[in-house]
Amino acid sequence: MIMRMDIQNIRAFLAVSETASFSRAGERLHLTQPAISKRIQAMELFLDIKLFDRIGKSVQLTEAGQALIPGYRRILDELEESERIISNLRQTTRGHLRFATSHHIGLHRLPAVLRQFSRQYPEVDLELQFMDSEQACQQVLHGEIELGIVTLPSQPDARLTLQTIWHDPMHCVVAADHPLASKEKVSRKQLLQQPSILPSSDTYTRALINRALQLDEHSNILMETNYLETIKAMVETGLGWGVIPDSMLDASLKIVAVKTGKMQRELGVVFHKARTRSSPANALLEILNGNHT
């Protein structure tokens, strides 16, 4: 019953009980006397009981009205405290943020972002988990984490909101002494005849590579791993060719000049559309957008 009661009516009731006057209650609440009377009448009709006796110019609480005062005062006190908490949340960023990222992004993209965040928002407790991008998206969907900073899926679930933060071009690479390293141009057939070290077949990154190079079950795949750092290390030993992003290129590797479809990952943030973002999540997103490339 209390939950269904209009808070403004409760305010009017308490104002009348404290001032013993409909007109003074109206002045306190910046309402007319008829408006106050209407609110009290609505309460009495809803509760099916009389709250005030009007004797001449005097207004006195009935026994029922007197009994309601402690409970209604608690309601307003708790409401005002809740409003203060919400106001403080708008003005400050504190609390707990649980999120996930992939190992690659955690190593190559996030350190500077998290350092800036921790300096700006020391009262936020960050709980960062490392996992594959595909697992992170599932945890966002199930409400287990608030957001993921991951490789974005090309065909996302309709319940997810995706925002690109970094464009991540990728290249076919070989070791400097690999047979393909000295060739000015390499055909797709020549490339696929050589053994390869690639991301696992169930990853967003592998799906991108499959489309770009038209890989199938007959492709010469020597090894699969979800760790791009492992792929780079294996390629450096000369075991085969691989695909890695710009950020990992160095003198130990040679880009293979092969014609492919577009091979660029989109890295960014994943949210659940139905979840209201916390102030720490909004603060992290603001910093990420400042690092947009």
Tens digits of residue pLDDT in 229-262: 999 999 999 999 999 999 899 999 999 988 877 7
- 48-87 tens-digit pLDDT: 999 999 887 788 999 999 999 999 989 888 888 787 777 6
- Write the CATH number of the domain with boundaries 2-91: 1.10.10.10
Query: Chain-centre distance of CA 131, in angstroms?
Result: 16
Confidence of residue 180 (pLDDT cuts 50, 70, 90): very high
CB 225 within 8 A of CB 200: yes
pLDDT one-digit tens code per residue, 6-40:
888 999 999 999 899 999 999 988 889 999 999 99
Mean pLDDT of 191-204: 93
Tell me the per-residue pLDDT of 125-168, one tens digit each, with 9 for 90 and over: 999 999 999 999 999 999 999 999 999 999 999 999 999 999 99
The CATH fold of domain 96-293: D-Maltodextrin-Binding Protein; domain 2 (3.40.190)
Is residue 107 predicted with pLDDT exceeding 60?
A: yes
**What's the confidence (pLDDT) of residue 77?**
83
Q: Please answer whether residues 62 and 52 qualify as being in contact, where contact means their C-beta atoms are separated by less than 8 angstroms.
A: yes
Nearest to 131 by CA among 115, 117, 149: 149
Q: Are 150 and 102 in contact (CB under 8 A)?
A: yes
| Residues 237, 119: Cα–Cα separation, whole Å | 41
Average of per-residue pLDDT values in the chain: 90
List alpha helices for the chain, DSSP H.
7-19, 22-29, 33-47, 63-91, 103-108, 110-120, 133-141, 188-193, 204-213, 228-236, 279-290
Which has more pLDDT, 38 or 216? 38
Residue ranges per structural domain of the chain:
2-91, 96-293
pLDDT on residue 5? 60
| Position 204 confidence tier, pLDDT thresholds 50, 70, 90 | very high
Q: Which pLDDT does position 213 carry in this prediction?
A: 92
Q: Same fold for the domain at 2-91 and the one at 96-293?
A: no
